[in-house]
Amino acid sequence: MSNEIMKQRVQQALNEELAHIHTTSRERDQLYENAIGGKVMKHKLKTGLVLALVLVLVSAVAVAAVLLSQQEIVEQVAVPMALENDTGIVANQDYSPEQLARLIQTLDENGFTLEENNALMQVLKSGQGYNEEETIMEICRQAFGGNYGTWTLEQQDWFEKLLADIGFNEEYTPNLPGEGNMTYEQAEAYAFAALKAEFGDALDPADRESYILDRGFWRGSEDSPAYWYFNLFPKDIMLGTYSVSFEDADPDETLEVEGSVPDWTEPYTADDLVKAFLSINSPYYHEVPASALRQLHDMMADAKMDPDSVWYPDALGFALTGYPKPAESDISRADAVAAAKAALDNPQAVCSSAVLTEYKGKRTWLVTLTVYIRMGTPDEIQVVSVDSISGQVESIRKMTRDDSETMVLVAEAAYTKSREGLLTEADYIRLAAEAVRAEHPGLDLLNENEYEVKVFGRDQRIVWFITRSLQHGNVSASVSRDGTVSDISVDSEGVNPDNLYSRYWSIYGWYSVDNGEWDAWNQDVWAQLKLTMDPLEPTTVEAKLLKMGQYPTEDSVRIDHHRAQELALQQVNHRWAEVNTCILIDAQPHPVWKIRVIADSAADAVFELDAETGEILNVDLYRTEYTPDYVLYSLEKNWRKVLLEEEGVIPLAKYAITYKYGDLELDLPEIEVDNPELYEAHVDGLTARFTALKAGEPGYEVELDEGGFVLRCEEIR
């Protein structure tokens, strides 16, 4: 522990311990100097006070010596805990509920108590675990103040190294300016001068009362150029957003300056007001300042409203709802929150916000209570209206998919008024069905035996009628807020070998998943699919592989689907891992369970498991969005051979490159070697060579064997 940190902790501990003892500031300074080995006390103190202070000093120094800083808690507790989780083939990126509770307890024991509406406290209260990176990030937000871009460059660099240590980043590249680089002060001065040159003296980039400064120094790799970036995010909807970026080595030639300055001269639109408000505030998760709500309400009175706009309910709600200052007759915020929690009677509910509102003279506290079920995602949001005079709960409104997040700030009567005349989900379904029937009279879309109905979207609703019959496909239509139906799509084609699989998928859903019991698509359905396919002549790779497969019954093997899935999950050892598909395929010498485990939002692990011995024969990792369906229901040796015969070397080479040189994380791009605008491809027998057309980018070479398996995959320069 550094001397400075020790000094700070001794001083803090002394201040706390001396709070109940009458001492002068001079006496406190003397005690502090003595505690840290500085000046010797020369002034005499009263004997009783000396004895009391000796006991306090011993206690204070002992406490200060063992307390950890938040950074030390991350390094000594959070990181080792995260590394404990990574025992499977896919890194476990989540803390368990027990680990999260232990980590929060450690924070509390060291003097860092989190507020109830903090994300970590919300998840802990729900009894769930949480993402490791987000957990550590939240601790750092508390320690450093604000979000990542507001931290010092040293803190940002420390955090990046930390992510590499726990496996979130594959490698760590120092992101601190060094010899030959601009200093931070030079870079900031250059950026601010560029902003003033572009937008004039009316903009003051150094005004921290009006803008949040988000900045950083970034170098993607040791060979990459270093860049500076500076962003100004407004704290007020009257202000704009600005950004500056430039290369450290050549700022004048690489300078980019952007700004978005709102124009609030009349007439401005209510839509613009709502969007500007939401760009700064997130009502679901944070307390919105009452002053910001009063400003929005006042400006909305002069805004141009469009009843056909998707933002109209939000704008009308803000126009109708006032946000007064608390009066003596109003109950306190704390009392309103307590009344709301008592009414909801859910121990997992946490208060996200509470705001005093007024509608036609009626003053009401709106208390937003959120129940988090998994990974910090709000599963249920309730808005409780509490009378500000009596403290009585008047209503509890559950937020629906039709509501935007602004509706937690709108008085109940104003909310009802803003919803008048809007289409309901039942209206969207009815309008879509009527429009489709007008073009295809024979379709009975509202027959539950023929179709399942789902609705997606907010502004433009997409209504899906999902088939329950092999004899026809899915139907969809788009319905706007005014009831106009467009983009009607009808699959009325009869069943054929190339659409058979998609029809089964529509009817039975994801196949052979054990969620306590078999889903509808079990081994019997696979056998039925095989019988239907046998007399047909498929033309696609997917359909040909289906026809090649043999799907024995589960009672023909020793290991059933329950045990097979357990064995696969043990290999992954990831808290949120779940089996997505599980299929028994005939093979030699024993049938094989083909199991897909989704380990997190980005990574798939696809297993081949011997159904007699339980041995893991093969496992491949895929990016979730790039996992072709045929790898899930066919043996690897079969799909590689068929794909090579049907489509040649390039698709298999692309898989090899993506999974070796790409990344399983969703935020990294696919390596598009099959894009002729990015790479020139040359195939020689079973070898494919891809030359990058962009200077500085690597090329690739892949060699396959006759079965489509990879013999060699390497980067070329």
Structural contact between residues 666 and 625, judged by C-beta atoms closer than 8 angstroms: yes
Domains 270-419 and 507-628 alike in fold: yes
pLDDT value at position 622?
73
Q: Residue 502: enclosing H or E segment and its boundaries?
A: helix 500-508
Each domain of the chain, given as residue ranges in start order, spans 3-66, 75-165, 184-260, 270-419, 425-490, 507-628, 648-717
Structural contact between residues 398 and 380, judged by C-beta atoms closer than 8 angstroms: yes
What average pLDDT does this structure show over 58-62? 38
Cα–Cα distance for residue pair 173/133, rounded to 1 Å? 18
Cα–Cα distance for residue pair 48/54, rounded to 1 Å? 10
Residue with tokens 């297993």: 607
Please choose, from the candidates 118, 142, 112, the residue with its C-alpha nearest in 3D space to the C-alpha of residue 351. Answer: 118
The yes-or-no verdict on residue 58 having pLDDT over 90 is: no
Which residues is 715 bridged to in the sheet?
700
pTM of the model: 0.64
Helices (H), 132-243: 132-144, 153-165, 184-199
Label residue 458 by pLDDT band (50, 70, 90): confident
What average pLDDT does this structure show over 486-511? 86
Which residues is 232 bridged to in the sheet?
213, 242
The yes-or-no verdict on residue 71 having pLDDT over 50 is: yes
User: In 10 A of CB 277, how many CB atoms?
Assistant: 23
Please choose, from the candidates 606, 597, 617, the residue with its C-alpha nearest in 3D space to the C-alpha of residue 659. Answer: 606
Please choose, from the candidates 491, 485, 447, 448, the residue with its C-alpha nearest in 3D space to the C-alpha of residue 463. Answer: 485
| Residue 50 CA to its chain's centroid (Å) | 56
**pLDDT above 90 coverage of the chain, percent:** 44
Residue with tokens 């859903």: 509
Domain 507-628: CATH class, spelled out: alpha beta
**pLDDT above 70 coverage of the chain, percent:** 83
The yes-or-no verdict on residue 115 having pLDDT over 90 is: no
What average pLDDT does this structure show over 577-590? 90
| Residue 109 CA to its chain's centroid (Å) | 29
pLDDT value at position 285?
61
Mean pLDDT, the chain, rounded, equals 83
Q: Which of 61-70, 137-146, 177-186, 653-662 has the lowest mean pLDDT?
A: 61-70
DSSP codes joined into one string, 327-383: -TTSPPHHHHHHHHHHHH--TT-EEEEEEEEEETTEEEEEEEEEEEEETTEEEEEEE
Label residue 576 by pLDDT band (50, 70, 90): low
Structural contact between residues 631 and 640, judged by C-beta atoms closer than 8 angstroms: no
User: What letters, b where the CB count within 10 A reaches 16 and e where it falls short, cover 168-190?
Assistant: bbeeebebebeeebbebeebbeb
The yes-or-no verdict on residue 256 having pLDDT over 90 is: yes
Label residue 625 by pLDDT band (50, 70, 90): low
Higher-confidence residue of 128 and 611: namely: 611
Within 388-536, strands assigned E span 393-398, 451-456, 461-467, 475-479, 485-490
Give me 539's structure tokens: 């033309």
Helix axes 649-661, 636-647, angle to 10 degrees: 130
DSSP codes joined into one string, 6-23: HHHHHHHHHHHHGGGS--
Domain 270-419: CATH class, spelled out: alpha beta
What average pLDDT does this structure show over 601-623? 85
The yes-or-no verdict on residue 9 having pLDDT over 50 is: no
Task: Give tens-digit pLDDT for 74-91.
Answer: 889 888 888 877 666 556
Higher-confidence residue of 701 and 515: namely: 701
Task: State the DSSP code for 514.
Answer: B
Cα–Cα distance for residue pair 465/444, rounded to 1 Å? 10
CA dihedral sign of residues 655, 658, 661, 666: negative
Structural contact between residues 357 and 322, judged by C-beta atoms closer than 8 angstroms: yes
